[in-house]
Amino acid sequence: MPWRARDVRPLLLRRRASRPQLKRDPLGSATKLPIEPAMPNYPMTEVIASRDYVIERDSVRIPLRVEIGKPAPCPDDGPDWYCPFMIPGAGQTRRYAVGIDSVQAILLAFSALHATLEYRAKGGTLTFVDGAPGTGINLVGVSGGE
């Protein structure tokens, strides 16, 4: 019979869910909890550094300017510091890194900026300063205590 399913198992042999299913109200719930953002939205601070990049992909040159803000204490009265960075006009919202002090915050911001630029350049070539390849964001001469 061509219309019969070929991989039908009897009801008792079918695999059961390995964990209980969540019970949901099919009509929705009147007490929905508000969704809070994963990270607070700290403000951009004074720009202390910027650099121009170009991503070349399929013979198209896409200019990018990155801006790094001055590290500042987190506004939520905690002991941590944050360092904002952004790529204006690239459809990206402002981001930041948080550290135990201003030095760690700015180092983490540079690291996050490097990763963001590398991700944006996937499938293309990222350059800066007269065609130098990559982001140019490297820690130089880091060593252990003497």
pLDDT (tens digit, 9 = 90+) per residue, 81-126?
Answer: 999 999 887 566 688 999 999 999 999 999 999 999 999 889 899 9
Write down the domain spans for the chain. 47-133
pTM of the full predicted structure?
Answer: 0.68
Task: Give the whole-angstrom CA distance, residue 116 versus residue 79.
Answer: 26
> What mean pLDDT value characterizes the chain?
80
Do 6 and 38 touch, CB atoms closer than 8 A?
no
Structure confidence at residue 8 as a pLDDT band (50, 70, 90) = low
pLDDT for the residue 94: 81
* pLDDT cut 90: percent of the chain above it: 44
Q: Give the residue with greater pLDDT, 141 vs 58.
A: 58
Task: Count CB-CB contacts under 10 A for residue 114.
Answer: 15
Structure confidence at residue 131 as a pLDDT band (50, 70, 90) = confident
Q: Span 70-90, mean pLDDT?
A: 89
Task: Give the whole-angstrom CA distance, residue 46 versus residue 54.
Answer: 24
Q: Give the residue with greater pLDDT, 36 vs 80.
A: 80
Do 86 and 80 touch, CB atoms closer than 8 A?
no
Task: Count CB-CB contacts under 10 A for residue 43.
Answer: 11
Q: Write down the residue that tokens 């030095």 correspond to.
A: 103
Cα torsion angle, 113, 67, 97, 110, sign? positive
Beta bridge partners of 56: 61, 125
Strand residues in the chain grouped as ranges (E) = 47-57, 60-69, 72-73, 81-86, 95-99, 125-128, 132-133
